[in-house]
Structure formats: structure tokens, C-alpha cells
Amino acid sequence: MVTITDVARRAGVSPSTVSYALSGKRPISDATRLRVQAAVRELGYRADVGGRARGHRSGVLALAVPMRSGIHVPVVTQFAVSVVTAARAHDHDVLLLTQEEGEEGIGRVAETGLADGVILTDVQLQDSRLPLLRSRSLPSVLIGLPAEPEGLTCVDLDFRAAGELCVEHLARLGHRTVALVGSPPEVYVRRTAFARRLVDGFTSAADRHRLTSTVHPCGTGADAARAVAERLLRELPALTGVVVHNEPLVDPLLDAFEHLGLRVPGDVSLVAVCPAPVAATARTPVTSVAVPSAELGTRAVRLLIRKLSGAPVPGTTLLPPRLTQRASTAPRGV
């Protein structure tokens, strides 16, 4: 293994000079810096983690991801990939924590100095991990919005605005009776923040526009889709606008309507809240508000890195939703 002392010898300077030349924490003459850099290259030197950690920076970011039902896998994977990519761009690595570990994982990471900071996903309204984050001084960024985000750094899609945007799109097309097909019930039971916020936005926009509306959680699978579709139409025979916030249900729902003799968008308009690729590659391309998983991951990393550098960061960042019109929505009665 090549140490900082090896580099120092090779460059004809002291170890500390090498350290400073590399970290830039104090001015070094161009001449020596160049010699140091050359020595580093020639020897293939890389700072050992153990030593560096004394300087209180492991260069690692922890990412806590959920792995339980009701969470859609591709979204999580998108987070992970974008987080790793962004972290690498800032010269950091990523340690993967599963949510199952919960507080324990965060505690371990914080106390052993394994990671410099942590990014949490799948944040609940009352998240059990938040007290830990507030008490320990472990820098953190949440992807998601808890009930009381004061003092925390959060980034998320503005799901409330997303719900409103969907309704407004349908209202503008003349639809008067709308339904929201939501996530599986357990998501609401756990009080996952984003699901509730979407419902709020949906409901309040529907009220504002004086639309008749209803909300149904829904599990996944063709049977569940068929069941909600039937229930919806029984309950609201005048239904012509549907918002679906349940990624794996988009295709089954399209099938279900077709099966009931309803054409999309001829008889029913459908707008989905889901990752853009899902909407674009559905059986019928679906008008959608995109969940920008990759951007959320990238933003979270940027915020955390800034936080680690001591710079001030905004408390909550809500990305504005954007609706992309595709083939699944049309004016009512056309």
C-alpha cells in the first residue's frame, strides 16, 4: 500500500505538505503542488480511509431505502442510481441502508463515523427516525416531507400541487365527475406523506372546481384494478375523469376500463402520477404528472454535500409538478 509518506519522499517534501497540497487547506506553491501531484500519479496514491477518517470525513453518504410492499421498486432504484451518480460527481461514495434497519442503521452510521451524512427516503408523516436526526448532529436530507419539517432539510415533488394539477387538467377538459385511484391502503395507514398530500390536492381542487369526486385506495394486480373500476362506476355513473396514483396499476386500469366497454380517452380520461417512462410506455400512452425520482436523488445529494461543507441550505424544496399531455385524456363527450 502506498502511503502519504511515500508520496512525500518521492516529491521531496513533508507528509503534511502532501496532505495540504491535496486538500487545498492551505496555500502551496505551484512548483511543489505540481511535484506532489506528479508523485501521486506515479505512485498511484489514494488516501486510506482509516487515516482520513481522523480528519472526520469518511467521504461516504448513507442512503436509507425502503423495501416493503406498497413501495414501487423502480422509483427506489431510480433514487439509488441517481444518488450514487451524484455522490460520485462530488467524490463521495454511497452506503446502502435498508429501512428495515430503521433507527438502528442511522445510529450505527452516525456513531461509528461510517458515513458523513444520510439521505432518507420514504419519509412518513410521523417518522420514527426524525428524533434521532435532530438529537444527533448527523447531517441529513429527507426525500419526502414529514408533518413537522422544521429544522430539517427536505426535498420532494409538490404532491399537493400535483393532485391539483391533475384535477385542473380534467376540469379544463370539461370533466365534472372525477375519481382518484390511489396507492394500496397500507400506504395511507402508514401515513406516508406524499400519498396524503396528493389526496389533499386532488380533493381541494375538485371542491374548488365544484366537481363530484371520490377517492379510492387500491392494491395492485388486474383483479384489484377491475374491482375499483367497477366500484367507481357503480358509485359515480357519471364518472369521466380518473387520476391514478399507483404506478403498477396504470396498465391494469386501462385494461379494466376497456373490459367494461369504456374507451380511453373516448369515454374516460385517465391521468397518472408516476415516473415518465411508465406513462409513456403504457398500452395507451398516458397523460401524466411525472415523479422525478432521479432529480430528487440528485438534489438530495447536492443539498447534503452543501450541508457537509457548512453552507446554509434551504429547509424545504418542493419541485413544481409538470403535466405532460398524452393520448389518455380528451375533452368530455368527444
Partner DNA sequence: CTGAAAGCGCTAACAC
Partner DNA sequence: GTGTTAGCGCTTTCAG
- Sheet containing strand 323-324, edge to edge, reads 212-216, 177-181, 241-244, 269-274, 287-290, 323-324
Q: Measuring CA to CA, how many Å separate 197 from each of 107, 194, 284? A: 29, 5, 27
Which of the residues 22 through 81 are near DNA (CB under 7 A)?
Answer: 22-23, 25-29, 31-33, 45, 47-48, 50-52, 54-56
Contact status: 309 vs DNA (CB under 7 A): no
Q: H-helix or E-strand containing 241? A: strand 241-244
Total residues contacting a second copy by CB under 8 A comes to 42
Phi then psi for residue 238, to 5 deg, are: -85, 5
Contact status: 98 vs DNA (CB under 7 A): no
d(CA 3, CA 5): 5
Render the burial of 86-124: b for 16+ CB within 10 Å, e for the rest: bbeeeebebbebebeeeeebbeebbeeeebbbbbbbbbb
Q: Say if strands 154-157 and 60-65 run parallel, antiparallel, or are unpaired.
A: unpaired
Which of the residues 74 through 103 are near a second copy (CB under 8 A)?
Answer: 74, 76-77, 80-81, 84-85, 88, 93-98, 100-101
Which range in 14-22, 179-187, 250-258, 309-317 contacts DNA by CB under 7 A?
14-22
Task: Give the SS3 label for residue 242.
Answer: strand
Give least dist CB 53 to DNA, A.
8
Q: Which of 21, 63, 198, 289 binds a second copy (CB under 8 A)?
A: 63
Give least dist CB 28 to DNA, A.
4
**127-134 own/partner pairs: CB under 8 Å, 24+ apart:** 128/102, 128/103, 129/64, 129/102, 129/103, 132/103, 132/106, 132/107, 133/106
Contact status: 16 vs DNA (CB under 7 A): yes
The terminus-to-terminus CA distance of the chain in angstroms comes to: 73
By a kind-dependent CB cut-off of 5 to 8 A, residue 138 interacts, out of DNA, a second copy, none, with: none
By a kind-dependent CB cut-off of 5 to 8 A, residue 101 interacts, out of a second copy, DNA, none, with: a second copy
Give least dist CB 2 to DNA, A.
8
DSSP notation for 183-201 = S-HHHHHTTBHHHHHHHHH
Q: Which of 25, 26, 41, 46 binds a second copy (CB under 8 A)?
A: 46
Which range in 11-19, 87-95, 128-136, 160-168 contacts DNA by CB under 7 A?
11-19
Radius of gyration of the chain (CA): 25
Site string for a second copy, 214-243 (x = CB under 8 A): -------xx---------------------
By a kind-dependent CB cut-off of 5 to 8 A, residue 309 interacts, out of DNA, a second copy, none, with: none
Which of the residues 125 through 144 are near a second copy (CB under 8 A)?
Answer: none
Q: Which of 114, 262, 276, 318 binds a second copy (CB under 8 A)?
A: 114
Contact status: 93 vs DNA (CB under 7 A): no
Torsion on CA atoms 317, 322, 328, 331, rounded to nearest 10 = 120
Q: Which amino acid is at 50?
A: G
Q: How many C-alpha atoms does 309 have within 13 Å on its Cβ side?
A: 11
Q: Which of 22, 53, 236, 313 binds a second copy (CB under 8 A)?
A: 53
By a kind-dependent CB cut-off of 5 to 8 A, residue 68 interacts, out of DNA, a second copy, none, with: none
Residues forming the site for DNA (CB under 7 A): 1, 3-5, 12-17, 19-20, 22-23, 25-29, 31-33, 45, 47-48, 50-52, 54-56
Applying CB under 8 A, the residues found at the interface with a second copy are 1, 44, 46-54, 58, 60, 63, 67, 73-74, 76-77, 80-81, 84-85, 88, 93-98, 100-101, 108-109, 111-114, 221-222, 281, 283
